[in-house]
Amino acid sequence: MTEQPPADRAHNWLVELAHKHRVSPTQRRVIQYMLGSLPYAAFASTIDVAEAAGVSQPTVTRLATALGYASYPDFRNAIREILRSPSVSAPDDPATNKLGFEQQNIAALERTIAGEPMARAIDLLSGTQPLGIIGLRVSSALAEYLGYFASRVLPDVHVLNDAASMHDAVLQLRLDGATAVLAFVMPRYPSATLEALAYARRLGMATVAIADCPVVPFIEDVDALLVAPVGTDQVFDSHAAAVVLAISLLDALAAKHPERTQQRLEAHEELVEHWSTVAR
């Protein structure tokens, strides 16, 4: 078996550690930053981490205690121990421009797309009909985006983005034969979305979630968690990584039934001339 790179070992260790302890939403934000900034985060000061994560310095310090360490230096040293390897040198300061951070977020998808949760998500979603895609608040646009393209290659796709009727819609999916549901759960994790995931599980449906961080408070209600880091360096959050991940997931689902995919694409292609005529 190929040995994991030190940064991957540190990433997995931190995720497992966070799942074993109760952390606050702001502390999860610090963990999210650290996961996307290894190995640099293990060599940064509490001030640097706090500024980069957009939280106060005491929040960073209290995170170490929440994770079972006497002090932040002790916690940081634990990460450094994992990172120590002849192949890992002292890290350079990461790119500070906005584009650089967004590129890091998209690059981080490699771990998600190649991981076991992605394979499980593909298996679960390829076997369900209809397919429900849940998305509320900021996630509504992501659900609509994926739903638009999914309907081109998959039969019976439903976008669920009305909180008031969410339970009714989830129930209807199950009554119509759905065995799994997909949800976008981006900050700040709308309660109606979390309730829908839990309700789907109670109805016997498998749940797949695309979220911003591997450390989420609803992990027990998710069968496959796909992580797409969110860019937080601008006025509004950037969900570029979530879009790339969603389309990659759809591509894999389409590949499960190549003949059906080709037939449906050809049928839509016949409408192109009509669209062009209407546009004139």
Asked whether residue 175 falls in the same domain as residue 201, the answer is: yes
User: Are 68 and 32 members of one domain?
Assistant: yes
Same domain flag for 234 and 149: yes
Give a yes or no: residue 206 inside a domain: yes
Looking at residue 277, its pLDDT comes to: 60
Which residues have CB under 8 Å from 11's CB, separation 6+?
A: 35, 38, 111
- What CA–CA distances, in Å, run from 57 to 45, 101, 245? 10, 21, 32
Closest C-alpha among 210, 219, 233 to residue 139: 210
- Examine the fold and report which residue of 94, 119, 149 is the final residue of a domain before the chain moves on: 94
Tell me if 78 is assigned to some domain. yes
Give the model's pLDDT for residue 187.
81
Total of domains in the chain:
2
Q: Range with the lowest mean pLDDT among 23-37, 57-71, 145-159, 181-195?
A: 23-37
Q: Are 121 and 246 in a shared domain?
A: yes
pLDDT for residue 101 is more than 80: no
Q: Does residue 12 belong to any structural domain of this protein?
A: yes
Q: Which residue has the higher pLDDT, 183 or 66?
A: 183
Which of 48, 68, 94 represents a domain boundary (last residue)? Answer: 94
Domain extent at residue 50: 6-94
Q: Confidence class of residue 273 from pLDDT cuts 50, 70 and 90? A: low
Q: How far apart are CA 118 and CA 90, in angstroms?
A: 32
231 and 122 in a common domain = yes
CATH of the domain at 49: 1.10.10.10
What are the pLDDT digits (tens) for 41-85? 888 888 888 888 888 888 899 998 889 898 888 898 888 888 875
Query: 């190929």: which residue's tokens?
Result: 2
pLDDT attached to residue 92: 45
From 94, 118, 135, the end of a domain falls on 94
Residue 172 vs residues 160, 167, 227: alpha-carbon distances, Å:
11, 9, 28
Task: Tell whether 126 and 85 lie within a shared domain.
Answer: no
DSSP SS3 for 223: coil
Which CATH number fits the domain that encloses residue 173?
3.40.50.10490
In a domain, 279, yes or no: no
Q: Residue 230 domain-assigned? A: yes
Give me the pLDDT at residue 96, please: 44
Within-domain flag for 17:
yes
Q: How confident is the model at residue 280 (pLDDT cuts 50, 70, 90)?
A: low
**Higher pLDDT among residues 134 and 30, named by residue:** 134
Task: Give me 47's structure tokens.
Answer: 């001030």
104 within domain boundaries = no
If asked whether residues 167 and 218 sit together in one domain, one would say yes
Mean model confidence pLDDT for the chain: 85
Task: Say yes or no: 10 and 65 in one domain.
Answer: yes
Q: Are residues 66 and 125 located together in one domain of the fold?
A: no
Are residue 114 and residue 202 in the same domain, yes or no?
yes
Q: Are residues 17 and 148 in the same domain?
A: no
Whether 280 maps to a domain, the answer reads no
Identity of residue 107: A
Residues of the chain with pLDDT > 90, as a percent, come to: 42
Rounded average pLDDT over 120-141: 96
Could you tell me if 155 and 54 lie in one domain? no
